Amino acid sequence: MSLKALIFDFDGTILDTETPEFTVWQELYKRYNQELDPADWGKGIGTWGAFDPWQDLEQKVGTALPREILELEHRTEVLKRIAASDLLPGTKALMLESKAAGLKLAIASSSSFDWVSDWTAKHGILEYFDALATRYEVEHVKPDPALFLLALQKLQLEPAEAIILEDSPNGCKAALAAGVTCIAIPNNVTKNLEFPKGVHKIATLAGVSLQQIAEKM
C-alpha cells in the first residue's frame, strides 16, 4: 500500500518547545540547590500526568513552594524562549515536498488545539495540515494510540497508508500501538531516552527527502 500521509507530533518534532521547558525547569531546580533527573522528566514528554516537577521539587526541598509566583515567572520565560525558536531543521522542507507530491498532512499532539494551532500559525505552516488531533478530543493521550487513530480517521486513511514522525518514547509507543510506521527524530531532551523496538530512528530531518521517509514503510 502506498504512502498517502505524514502525521507529525508537534512539541519537539516540528517546534522544539521541549528544550526551553526543560532548561527553565533545570534553572528552577538549581535555584533550590536541586537537580532535575532527565530520566524522570522524560516520563512526562509527549503525554500528561506522568511526572509532576512541582511535586518532585517540593519533595526534594522539603517544603511547599510559592507556586503561583513561580509558575508565572516560569511560564513567561518558557514562552519567551519558544518564541525565539525556529522550526526544527528539515520539517518545513519535508512538509512542502509532501504537499507537492499530493500527500495529506496531520498533527497528532497531546497538547491543546490552541497551543498547536497558535504556534503553527505563527510559523506560517498551519495551512499545510489537513487535520489536527489534539488533547481534548480523546479520552487518553499518548502513549495511548487514540490521537493517531483520530488523525487517521480525519484523514480517512488506514494505518498502513501513513507514517508518523515523533520525538519521544511515549509518542512512538502510541504510533506503534496504532499500527503505523513510526520514525523517531530525537531532540536534545529526548535523545538519551529509551525508545521502543520497531521504531526507525534518524538524527534529523535536515536534508531528508520524502523518498527516504517513504522507504521506511
- How far is Cα 32 from Cα 187, in angstroms, rounded to an integer? 27
Residue 114 burial (CB < 10 Å; 0-12/13-18/19+)?
A: exposed
User: What are 99-149's pLDDT values in tens digits?
Assistant: 999 999 999 999 999 999 999 999 999 999 999 999 999 999 999 999 999
The per-residue pLDDT for 46 is 86
Tell me the DSSP string of 42-89.
HHTTTSSSS--HHHHHHHHHTS---HHHHHHHHHHHHHHHHHTPPBPT
Give the pLDDT means over successive 10-residue stretches in the chain (217 positions).
94 95 96 94 88 95 94 96 97 98 98 98 98 97 98 98 97 98 94 94 96 93
Q: Which CATH number is 95's domain given?
A: 3.40.50.1000
96 plus 203 within the same structural domain: yes
98 plus 204 within the same structural domain: yes
State the catalytic residues: 9, 11
The per-residue pLDDT for 3 is 97
One-letter amino acid at 85 equals S
What range defines the domain where residue 55 resides? 18-83
43 plus 146 within the same structural domain: no
The one-character DSSP state at 189 is T
Prediction pTM value? 0.94
The per-residue pLDDT for 64 is 95
Number of domains in the chain: 2
The per-residue pLDDT for 49 is 84
12 plus 23 within the same structural domain: no
- How far is Cα 86 from Cα 166, in angstroms, rounded to an integer? 18
Q: Whose CA is closest to 13, among 91, 86, 125, 76?
A: 91
Q: What is residue 188's three-state secondary structure?
A: coil
Single out the residue in 37, 62, 83 at which a domain terminates: 83
122 plus 66 within the same structural domain: no
32 plus 126 within the same structural domain: no
116 plus 12 within the same structural domain: yes
142 plus 193 within the same structural domain: yes
Percentage above 70 pLDDT, the chain: 100
